[in-house]
């Protein structure tokens, strides 16, 4: 009971009384090493959510909203997570969530949760009216913390075990997903014909006029 109270107080103490906190922030009371403790996860990706674009005039096409979200230090290999991350690229969110339910990889669960969180964020914070009307514009993996362990070998030797973690990043964009996510797009038959004709006409016939 006492502990919950303590936690509650800690949580509320920083939310309330903002002006006092802002004043306190200007005074440096600790050494530089303690000044920032965000060294165990990247923060840059989430800063894109802070970017504010200039207002548009009524005759302009409304800018499409986007949300960036991440989950850091997932206990899963980044090499394995890559398959899950690139699998959902260019899908609509709902489709991605549905598909991920059938992916038998440990990382799929985390990715799905991140997508669901991002959807919720979009509605709550970024003025997106219909969260289903979004698609996975970017989805990639970063290498997280690697913790080294030891493995005994014969003849008094040892090997190294790497316990890998990964970061997962996603960006959802408003609108319908594009038909082809990766470029170059597959060519249509008439385009192929044009290319072939051009190539035929380009070739040089030796000893001709």
Binding-site ranges for other proteins (CB under 8 A):
1-7, 9-10, 13, 16-20, 22, 40-41, 50-56, 58, 62-65, 71-75, 123, 125-127, 129, 144-145, 147, 149-153, 161, 163, 165
Q: Which of 163, 187, 4 is nearest to 77 (CA)?
A: 163
Q: How far is the CB of 183 from other proteins (least distance, A)?
A: 25
- Distance separating alpha carbons of residues 197 and 5, to the nearest angstrom: 78
Rounding to the nearest 10 degrees, give the CA dihedral for residues 201, 206, 208, 209. 70
Q: At a CB cut-off of 8 Å and minimum separation 6, what does 66 contact?
A: 48, 126, 137, 171, 172, 173, 174
- Distance separating alpha carbons of residues 173 and 126, to the nearest angstrom: 11
Q: How far is the CB of 19 from other proteins (least distance, A)?
A: 5
Q: Which is nearer to other proteins, 155 or 179 (CB)?
A: 155
Q: How far is the CB of 147 from other proteins (least distance, A)?
A: 6
Q: How far is the CB of 73 from other proteins (least distance, A)?
A: 4
Q: How far is the CB of 113 from other proteins (least distance, A)?
A: 10
Q: Which is nearer to other proteins, 20 or 176 (CB)?
A: 20
Contact 46, 68 (CB under 8 A): yes
Where do runs of H (alpha helix) occur along 141-206? 189-202
Cis peptide before 63, with omega less than 30 degrees from 0?
no
Tally the residues of the chain. Answer: 209
Q: How far is the CB of 80 from other proteins (least distance, A)?
A: 17
Q: Which is nearer to other proteins, 99 or 126 (CB)?
A: 126
Q: Which is nearer to other proteins, 67 or 96 (CB)?
A: 67
Q: Which is nearer to other proteins, 24 or 193 (CB)?
A: 24
Cα–Cα separations (whole angstroms), residue 79 to 22, 43, 56, 84, 115: 43, 22, 42, 10, 20
Q: Which is nearer to other proteins, 3 or 198 (CB)?
A: 3
């Amino acid at each position: 009971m006492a502990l919950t109270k303590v936690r509650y107080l800690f949580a509320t103490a920083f939310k309330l009384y903002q002006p006092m906190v802002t004043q306190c922030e200007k005074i440096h009371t600790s050494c530089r090493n303690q000044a920032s403790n965000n060294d165990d996860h990247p923060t840059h990706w989430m800063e894109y959510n802070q970017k504010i674009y200039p207002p548009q005039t009524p005759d302009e096409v409304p800018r499409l909203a986007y949300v960036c979200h991440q989950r850091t230090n997932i206990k899963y290999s980044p090499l394995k997570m890559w398959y899950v991350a690139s699998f959902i690229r260019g899908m609509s969110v709902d489709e991605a969530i549905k598909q991920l339910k059938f992916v038998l990889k440990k990382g799929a669960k985390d990715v799905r949760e991140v997508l669901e969180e991002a959807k919720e964020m979009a509605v709550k914070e970024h003025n997106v009216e219909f969260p289903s009307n979004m698609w996975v514009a970017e989805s990639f993996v970063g290498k997280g913390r690697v913790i080294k362990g030891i493995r005994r070998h014969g003849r008094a030797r040892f090997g190294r075990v790497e316990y890998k973690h990964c970061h997962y990043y996603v960006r959802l964009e408003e609108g319908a997903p594009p038909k082809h996510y990766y470029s170059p797009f597959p060519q249509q038959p008439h385009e192929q014909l044009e290319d072939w004709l051009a190539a035929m006409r380009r070739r040089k016939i030796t000893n001709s006029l």
